[in-house]
Amino acid sequence: MITVGWCPYKRTAKYLDKYELEFVHNVYFEPEMLSDLYKDNTALFSQCPAHTHFLKSFWVIKSPVDLTLNVDRENERATINQNQKFYDSFVDMRWGQYSKTDKALCSLYFQYMFVADEQVWMEQYPAFLHGGVDNTRFINAGFNIYNWQRPIDFSFEIIDDKKPVIIKRGQPLFYVKFIGEKLNEDFKLKEIEWTDELYQMNKRCQPQNWIKKISWQLMNKGNRNRPKKLVK
């Protein structure tokens, strides 16, 4: 059994005050086991070992707020049903990161950090058993949360930018899956404190903000001077 630590990520590029985002601690949902979707299901398939093994390493990340996003792609403007401070902190339209023929991109910084004190690969998936968020195509990702300490968020392509993206509080945004060195590894989650140490480790894992095409090389090598224990 491997214990994976998790916490809400409490910094943004716009608001760097140490305690500015402490409110998210009470607003964000705890990750939920995907297998809970079938906890009251008595159908025969729900007892199948192949089915339960598939589900056991997935957790669900839910939206902390109601959000409606409208995009004016031509003029590079977007509006939401929240205030400007919320927009500046949690919405990144990623203007300039796609061509005219690409779908528009957006990142909603409802961010979580996951860490482990042994080798664990984490992958992000769309919420395929819940139907996902309409008018979005989720951007998948995966990395080693022992070597690399960085947050994850809800990043997606907008399928039709003439239509709004509507999200409800408590709606599943995406799943995370954990993979250990043993294929049948079991996992449990433990909430950990957001600390200056964790933030410092995270900033060491963001060379892409300064240097192109180097992050993956550094992730494979690991985060130098990583503390022996991050899950405390």
Predicted confidence (pLDDT) per residue in 54-100, tens digit: 999 999 999 999 999 999 999 999 999 999 989 998 999 999 999 99
DSSP per-residue letters across the chain = -EEEEEEE----SS---TTTTTTHHHHSPPPEEGGGGGTT--SGGGG-HHHHHHHTTEEEEE-SS-EEEEEETTTTEEEESS-HHHHHHHEE--TTSS-TTSPEEEEEEEEEEEEESS-EEEEEEE-TTTT--TTEEE--EEEETTT---EEEEEEEES-TTS-EEE-TT-EEEEEEEEESSTT--EEEEE----HHHHHHHHTT-GGGTSTT-HHHHHHH--TT--S----
- pLDDT tens-digit profile of 98-149? 999 999 999 999 999 999 999 999 999 999 999 999 999 999 999 999 999 9
pLDDT in tens, 147-158: 999 999 999 999
pLDDT higher than threshold 70 for residue 42: yes
Question: Do 18 and 194 touch, CB atoms closer than 8 A?
Answer: no
Check residues 24 and 164 and name the one with the higher pLDDT: 164
Of the CA atoms within 13 Å of residue 86, those in its CB half-sphere come to 15
Give, in degrees to the nearest 5, the angle at Cα 61 between 4 and 134.
Answer: 155
Q: Half-sphere exposure of 72 toward its Cβ, with a 13 Å CA cutoff?
A: 6
